[in-house]
Amino acid sequence: MSKLHEECGVFGIYDLDGGNVASSIYYGLLALQHRGQESCGIAVSDTSGPKGKVDSYKGMGLVNEVFVEGALDGLQGDIGVGHVRYSTAGASTRENAQPLVLNYVKGTLGLAHNGNLINAAELRKELEYGGAIFQTTIDTEVIAYHIARERVKSKSVEEAVGRAVDKLKGAYSLVVMSPRKLIGVRDPYGFKPLCIGKRDNAYILASESCALDTIGAQFVRNVEPGEIVTITPQGIMSDTSRCLPLEKQGRCIFEYIYFARPDSHIDGISVYQSRILAGKYLAMDSPVEADLVVGVPESGNAAALGYSLESGIPYGTAFVKNSYVGRTFIKPKQSNRESSVQVKLNVLKEAVAGKRVIMIDDSIVRGTTSDRIVTMLKEAGAKEVHMRVSSPPFLWPCYFGTDVPERDQLIAYNHSLEEIRQIIGADTLGYLEIGRLEQIAGGQPICKGCFTGNYPMKPPADDIRGEYEK
């Protein structure tokens, strides 16, 4: 059984006035908690203190579970990085929690990574044959080792980072802390988001703009795909030599459909407005007569509102969500996925009884979750359930950090639209048309590989997903 995982979240801050940054990282990670709920960590350093001294703290669980009272007291420094992580089941260990802190001849590196490399195994073997001993099974450690190795023969840490990322193939947003610099890197395709913020005299790097809002920082700009930004007391330096032409880029469309918080802006596009637009397009392309439009929380809600606005059918709430249960989409085991649906959601019978209901969800992977939710609505008295999906059907796996599994586990690969409708028990079924994807992303180039099999870069010959995770 393939395992489903989502994105991770990265956060970095450098307070040029020398203020302690640990609490800001903590609150930034709380804002990014939706991107990973298995482990988290913070590493900080004092740029005016002993060079190479890094304090770090990490563990398994949610941010507020790991950082109990007093945990931040030992993290003193004006520069730091943080990370929230979701892994595949076999790698859910404290050793694989990030940030990684590496001590080497030039000092220390603290590294947080969001993404998935398709050449991780090859890069790892190269290091192992050179005598490297690995402490984790994540490709983040591979990146850290390559940066450290390049640093020995480079004039600066940012030059070493540039040489190291030249070897990387795949998706990555990186935040790197050296003793005196904070560096942000985004892969040339722009798969993973990364933005820059500023609060007083502190600069911030974060996966999503919502983390900037949480700590009272102002959004400055996005890190461009392929760009390396270096933050020092002299300001922000930028290296755009690896940037690709716009038409060759490929942002992950699932940031807009599912992953990102609705109050975030990804590359200048409002996630909330993207989801509203997806719902409007569904209403245009897959209309149906009904009494009520509802969303499957949380990412289905805005699309449901969009469907309602376009169709004129009233928008309502049909589900009460238990906010303390992790996302169903990323449960590692099939049995867990099925049982967690009812733990996570309960139907408001008074809202749906006797009504024809349009139910909007962000995706259908295997179909088991959709089957349970449709059944719950009908058991609550819904006369009809019409399912609309704010993404196209999954037909191919993803190799770039969104864990869409092997093709034989994708319900749309094995079944026709009518067969899927029958399996999940809906009265009608409609997906977002593939031509609408660029429109909901503001016309930006996006990766549609999991829908079409055409990826921005050549996928690996061997599927090693799960062997070297992020």
Contacts of 338 (CB under 8 A, 6+ apart): 368, 369, 372
347 and 228 both lie in a single domain:
no
298 and 425 both lie in a single domain:
yes
Percent of the chain predicted with pLDDT > 90 = 79
171 and 213 both lie in a single domain:
yes
Whether residue 301 lies inside any domain: the answer is yes
270 and 224 both lie in a single domain:
no
What are the pLDDT digits (tens) for 365-376? Answer: 988 889 999 999
Structure confidence at residue 105 as a pLDDT band (50, 70, 90): confident
Domain CATH number, residue 295: 3.40.50.2020
Structure confidence at residue 457 as a pLDDT band (50, 70, 90): very high
310 and 223 both lie in a single domain:
no
Domain CATH number, residue 231: 3.60.20.10
Q: Which residues are catalytic?
A: 8
Whether residue 204 lies inside any domain: the answer is yes
What is the average pLDDT across 419-444?
A: 97
As to burial, measured by CB atoms within 10 angstroms (0-12 exposed, 13-18 middle, 19+ buried), residue 428 is middle
Tokens representing 355 are 């009504």
34 and 157 both lie in a single domain:
yes
Whether residue 34 lies inside any domain: the answer is yes
Whether residue 257 lies inside any domain: the answer is no
Q: Is the pLDDT reported for residue 468 higher than 60?
A: no
What are the pLDDT digits (tens) for 217-238? Answer: 999 999 999 999 999 999 999 9
Q: Is there a contact between 222 and 193 (Cβ–Cβ < 8 Å)?
A: yes
Structure confidence at residue 461 as a pLDDT band (50, 70, 90): confident
Q: Is there a contact between 212 and 198 (Cβ–Cβ < 8 Å)?
A: no
What is the average pLDDT across 65-72?
A: 95
288 and 206 both lie in a single domain:
no
Given this model, what pLDDT does residue 32 score? 97
CA distance 200 to 213: 14
Q: Is the pLDDT reported for residue 392 higher than 70?
A: yes
Whether residue 446 lies inside any domain: the answer is yes
370 and 240 both lie in a single domain:
no
Structure confidence at residue 209 as a pLDDT band (50, 70, 90): very high
What are the pLDDT digits (tens) for 260-315? Answer: 999 999 999 999 999 999 999 999 999 999 999 999 998 899 999 999 999 999 99
108 and 231 both lie in a single domain:
yes
Structure confidence at residue 190 as a pLDDT band (50, 70, 90): very high
Task: Please say which residue of 215, 244, 273 terminates a domain.
Answer: 244
Q: Is the pLDDT reported for residue 123 higher than 50?
A: yes
CA distance 455 to 400: 10
Overall domain count for the chain: 2
Range of the domain at 221: 9-244
Whether residue 273 lies inside any domain: the answer is yes
Q: Is the pLDDT reported for residue 324 higher than 80?
A: no
What pTM was computed for the model? 0.92
Structure confidence at residue 247 as a pLDDT band (50, 70, 90): very high
125 and 78 both lie in a single domain:
yes
Tokens representing 459 are 């996928």
Whether residue 4 lies inside any domain: the answer is no
